[in-house]
Structure 1
Amino acid sequence: MKWDFTFSAGDTTQRYRNYHRSSSHAPLMQMRKAPRREYEVRDLDSNGKRVKWHMDPGRFDQAGGKTFADVMKNRRTSWNFGERDVTEEELKELLLFSFGISEPLEKKRTYPSGGQFYSLEIYLLPTIRSVASGLLEEKVYKLNVNEGTLVEMEDLDLAKLPLLSASTDVGFFSLKEAQCVVVLVGNDRDLSVKYMDLSYRIMLLEAGHMAQNFLLTCTSLGLSSVPLGGFHEGEIKNMLQLTDDKMVLYTLLGG
């Protein structure tokens, strides 16, 4: 493999600026007859898979922990993951508070979503440490939020996990002490019917809301967290065995 430095930085900048302008929202782009509520919830590809855990929505009413001010003050990105192994209950809380349903009647979650489509899929990957502690197995997991379950999707080769980012691939940072990896994957199949070219912006905004939930929940639980922007999408799609139409939007580390 050879590096190619022949492209122009100006051309690269112009490309994303052109996309920003072409994807902007305008009154004529809004589908007037698009439904506002009661969107169809299609079957997820995780249905029928082996269930690892069931989430307990009652944890929202039982949780204690740090005050809101403490969480906001202490939120930091840190590769210094804790010495204590994360427990099953802590990981369940992390997933539930970050991404779960907080209003069962209307299926509302802990983060906002354009049109309430909730178009991002949530994958969980173990690390060598979380497998060694017995917390997780060497599997690709997916959170089925509507059913409140964590399910096994595929087998995972842990040896390939460091390839997910330049930060870990070249050895500058290590996943050795991290205890979980969360991957947020865009699925615009339903969203694009209503929002068309605006869909990508909406998914990026949603990923940001979800990531911030994860980071703040980690802080509340006394865990370190890292949001990874420089991830290798191709490597992650291979690990998760994603189809070409799926888009990896964010990768998060916790532990």
Structure 2
Amino acid sequence: MGDLQVESSNLLSVVYRTGIPDIDDPAENYLEASKLYSSTVHHDLPGIVALDQSPELRTMSARAARRYASRLAVDLPEPAALDGTLDAALRARRSADGFGAGPLRLDLLSSLLRRTYGVTDRDGLPRRATPSGGALFPLDVFVVPRRVDGLRGNGLYHFDPFRSVLADLGDVDDEALHDCLVSPELSRQSAAVLLVTASFWRSRFKYGQRALRFALIESGHLAQNILLVATGHGLAARPLGGFLDNDLTALLPDHNGVDDAPLYALLVGPSPD
């Protein structure tokens, strides 16, 4: 059977409905609004000058993470040792179609968090393995453990990258969480759900409209790091970009879906093999 030839222009009516973009197409409007030009770059990126002129602002921006210091916290142990090579992890990485029934060890969860979004260098500005525009790190990682040793099932925890702890934020409605996700039956099999959210203002004060681009790019960096670490530990993992935004936002503290919003979900657990 020969290769199937498809004329891509036939998709115009599917993508744009009318066959051409509307004059107020949101995607095109945002792309235009977030472009940089030499004639307006100083106006579009006002925070760059402010950061250059203010040591206090630089210090404050370096503490880029939500803090729940008043909450009870679970110390994360030293990350489990990684086996194999980066080449092996890249070759073996696959999006899981199922998960084993056993629990996830806490040192494995610690590895997924600390190796990917934990502070790896405190000499000068705190650095992390995941790159971030201006080292502003607008993302946060929340964990809903279902079968994780040492953690309460269906609790909601926040990863503090500076203290290497999980702040206990109380319980989450397990059924509501899975119903938010595009693959609820698969998520119910997982040992833990990791939710990546963004506080856009952490980047926007410096990068203006460009900040949303950076937050989306960085969530991909972080997700890929988590997936590779999971693969290195022989765990099953699957990224989910599809979810009901308002419903998932409602499960997260201090998120309004505009200034702070979920971007990505990752399912992790033992391999079904």
* Matched residue SS, 2:159: strand
Is 1:115 aligned to 2:137, yes or no? no
Of 158, 165, 178 in structure 2, the residue corresponding to residue 142 of structure 1 is 158
Judge conservation of contact 2:64–2:202 (CA < 8 Å) in 1.
no
Following TM superposition, where does structure 1 have runs of at least 4 consecutive aligned residues deviating by more than 6 angstroms?
A: none
1:103 aligns with 2:121: yes
What residue identity is the alignment partner of 1:52?
V
User: Could you say which residue in structure 1 is the equivalent of 2:267?
Assistant: 253
Superposed CA offset, 1:176-221 (max 9, x none) = 3201111111102332111111111111111111010111111001
Distance 1:188 1:175 in 2: 27
Q: Which whole-Å CA distance do the structure 1 matches of 2:113 and 2:23 have between them?
A: 36
**In structure 2, what is the equivalent of residue 4 of structure 1?**
none
Distance in 1, matches of 2:221 and 2:86, equals: 17
Structure having the higher Rg? 2
CA distance in 2 between counterparts of 1:138 and 1:157 reads: 7
Q: Distance in 2 between matches of 1:13 and 1:82?
A: 47
Contact 1:55–1:96, Cα closer than 8 Å, also in 2: no
Using the TM superposition, name which of 205-214 and 239-248 deviates more. Answer: 239-248
Task: Give the 3 Å change call, closer, same or farther, for CA 112–12 of structure 1 in structure 2.
Answer: farther
SS at match of 2:175: helix
Whether the 8 Å CA contact 2:99–2:236 is kept in 1: the answer is: yes
Amino acid of the structure 2 residue aligned with 1:49: R
Is 1:138–1:155's contact at 8 Å kept on the other side of the alignment?
A: yes
Cα distance in 2 between the residues matched to 1:136 and 1:96 = 20
Identity across the alignment (%): 25
TM-score, with structure 1 as normaliser: 0.84
Residue 44, structure 1, aligned to residue 55, structure 2: no
Q: Cα RMSD over matched residues?
A: 2.6
Equivalent position of 1:70 in the other structure: 88
Number of positions where the alignment pairs a residue of Structure 1 with one of Structure 2:
239
Label 1:210 to 1:13 Cα distance change in 2 as closer, same or farther (>3 A).
Answer: farther
Give 1:157's aligned residue. Answer: 173
Indicate conservation of the 8 Å contact 1:24/1:198, yes or no. Answer: yes
Q: How far apart, CA to CA, are the structure 1 residues paired with 2:17 and 2:65? A: 44
Question: 1:122: how far off?
Answer: 1.0
Contact kept? 2:245, 2:262, Cα under 8 Å: yes
Bigger drift between 13-22 and 147-156 goes to: 13-22
Aligned to 1:30: 45
Which of 176, 189, 192 is the matching residue for 2:201?
A: 189
Given the superposition, is the C-alpha separation of residues 54 and 21 from structure 1 closer, same or farther in structure 2, using an over 3 Å criterion? same
User: How far off its partner does 1:12 sit?
Assistant: 10
User: In 2 relative to 1, CA 137–82 (structure 1 residues): closer, same or farther, beyond 3 Å?
Assistant: closer
**Structure 1 contact 23–198 (Cα < 8 Å) conserved:** yes
User: Aligned partners of 2:231, 2:59: CA distance in 1, in Å?
Assistant: 34
CA contact 2:67–2:160 (8 Å) conserved in 1: no
Structure 1 residue corresponding to 2:106, chosen from 81, 85, 88: 88
Q: Spell out, residue by residue over 1:81-120, the C-alpha distance to the aligned partner (whole angstroms, 9 max, x if none).
A: 1344211111111111121111132310110011111111
2:244 to 228, 232, 239: 232
Name the residue aligned to 1:20: 31
Cα drift, residue 71 of structure 1: 0.2
1: distance between equivalents of 2:77 and 2:198?
23
Aligned with 1:237: secondary structure? Answer: helix
Q: CA deviation at 1:43?
A: 7.5
**Contact 2:82–2:232 (CA under 8 A) maintained in structure 1:** no
Query: 209-218 or 31-40: which moved more?
Result: 31-40
Tell me how far apart the structure 2 counterparts of residues 44 and 18 of structure 1 sit (CA, whole Å). Answer: 31
User: Which of 219, 223, 227 is 1:211 aligned to?
Assistant: 223
Contiguous gaps of at least 5 residues in structure 2: 1-15
